[in-house]
Amino acid sequence: MSLSAVELVLVRLPLLRPFRTSFGTLTHKEAILVRAAGDDGVEGWGECAVAEDPLYSEEWNAGAWMILRDYLAPAALAGTSPSVKGHPMAATALEAALLDLRLRREEVSLAAHLGGVRDRIVCGVSLGIEEDVDQLLEQVRRFVADGYRRIKLKIEPGWDVEPVRAVREAFPDAALSVDANAAYGPEDAGHLAGLDPLGLDYLEQPLPKDHLLAHADLQARLETPICLDETLTSPHVTEEAIRLGACRIVNLKVGRVGGIGSARAIHDLVVRRGVPMWCGGMLETGIGRAVNLALAAMPGFTLPGDTSGSDRYFERDLTEPFTVDADGTMAVLDGPGIGVSPIDEALREVTVRRHLVGT
């Protein structure tokens, strides 16, 4: 059995509510889906977790499309290794599609393949920057009422201690965290210490991604644990960050680290070092969300992550919707591969373009 074609599908789904962060405002989720078609009629699916514009990381959809079309997919069809530098999120999408194809043929779920140990994961939600504190409180109220077990608030200079304090006062017992997406500098340490009295689970990626030592210095000044996201691009840098004391918590995103092999290596070293970890997300459609859900079933994911229900983002997901129960948990899927497929009609409705590589 082999691979007969790879198809790229660009999709664009409207978000129910604009998602504002320090790196821009998203009104739509644009993603590349990779369909790996086997010569036996079985197909695997993967999702590339990058955006329309290179504002969060260097990758963006037009670039990822070309890398997949001209390098990664042709190499996979030829059975060779592409030796492309960088482009981890594009590479992860194809890897995920090929793994999904293989696991569907073997009738093994991705969660089982990864050594998952739980059949439900604990869900958190990531909330964007709002126009004012009242609107933020309304959002927090909704997701607390829906059962979400950790609420993460995006912050940036000018929208940090004050709104977070208002949320803390209104929800004294909620598990709260904040994510700066690298919007601060080392000179902001004194200001960020103003978050310490608010009892946050962590402060995520306050400084630019290459600031390992500055994160270690900042952590030494803060009581709030630092969690790194953008910085952690490989097992190597993750080990360095932990040994330097640049973080006390790890956010793992499979696309950011270049694939499932790298994610497993990071998972295992983080577990060895006894560091709490959670599975990040990038507003994926059901295809990418299924991968996050399977990953989060692994033993090292001890904190609630950013995997939320489909209705957090979309009127209609591409797959059967992912749902969060009243206790804030989501069932791990046990079907073959990632356990879901795009619904033809839902996919057609949001498809911008398709390109078939191979015969």
Q: Known catalytic residues?
A: 154, 253
> Which of ligand NPQ, Mg ion, none binds 130 (CB below 5-8 Å, type-dependent)?
none
| Separation CA 67–CA 40 (nearest Å) | 26
The closest alpha carbon to 338, from 125, 116, 149, belongs to 116
Within 140-199, the residues that bind Mg ion by CB under 5 A are 179
Please say which residue, 167 or 182, places its beta carbon nearer to Mg ion: 182
Least distance from C-beta 29 to ligand NPQ, angstroms? Answer: 7
3-state secondary structure the chain: CCEEEEEEEEEEEEEEEEEEECCEEEEEEEEEEEEEEECCCCEEEEEECCCCCCCCCCCCHHHHHHHHHHHHHHHHHHCCCCCCCCCHHHHHHHHHHHHHHHHHHHCCEHHHHCCCCCCEEEECEEECCCCCHHHHHHHHHHHHHCCCCCEEEECECCECHHHHHHHHHHCCCCCEEEECCCCCCHHHHHHHHHHHHHCCCCEECCCCCCCHHHHHHHHHHCCCCEEECCCCCCHHHHHHHHHHCCCCEEEECCCCCCCHHHHHHHHHHHHHCCCCEEECCCCCCHHHHHHHHHHHCCCCECCCECCCCHHHCCCCCCCCCCCCCCCCEEECCCCCECCCCCCHHHHHHHEEEEEEEEC
Distance CA 347, CA 324 (A): 23
Q: Binding ligand NPQ by CB under 6 A: which of 176, 178, 282, 296?
A: 282
Residue 202 sits in the site that holds ligand NPQ (CB under 6 A): no
- For ligand NPQ, the closer of residues 57 and 219 by Cβ is 57
Give the one entry of ligand NPQ, Mg ion, none that residue 26 binds, where binding means its C-beta sits below a cut-off of 5 to 8 angstroms depending on kind. ligand NPQ
284 near Mg ion, rule: CB under 5 A: no
Contact code string over 39-78 relative to ligand NPQ, x by CB under 6 A = -----------xx----x----------------------
Nearest distance from C-beta of residue 280 to ligand NPQ, angstroms: 5
Using CB distances below 5 to 8 A depending on partner kind, what does residue 283 bind out of Mg ion, ligand NPQ, none?
ligand NPQ
If binding is defined by CB under 6 A, does position 126 make contact with ligand NPQ?
yes
Site for ligand NPQ contains 116 (CB under 6 A): no
Other beta carbons within 10 angstroms of residue 216's beta carbon come to: 17
Of 10-18, 78-86, 277-285, 334-342, the segment contacting ligand NPQ by CB under 6 A is: 277-285
End-to-end CA distance of the chain: 15
306 binds, among ligand NPQ, Mg ion, none (CB under 5 to 8 A by kind): ligand NPQ
Site string for ligand NPQ, 5-44 (x = CB under 6 A): ---------------------x------------------
229 in contact with Mg ion (CB under 5 A) = yes
Kindly indicate which of the ranges 74-82, 87-95, 225-233, 343-351 contains the residues binding Mg ion, using the contact rule CB under 5 A: 225-233
Binding pattern to ligand NPQ, positions 296-335, x when CB under 6 A? ----------x-----------------------------
What number of chain residues touch ligand NPQ (CB under 6 A)? 13
Nearer to ligand NPQ, 322 or 337 (CB): 322
For residue 104, how far is the Cα from the chain centroid?
23
Residues that bind Mg ion (CB under 5 A): 179, 204, 229
Residues that bind ligand NPQ (CB under 6 A): 26, 50-51, 56, 126, 179, 181, 229, 280-283, 306
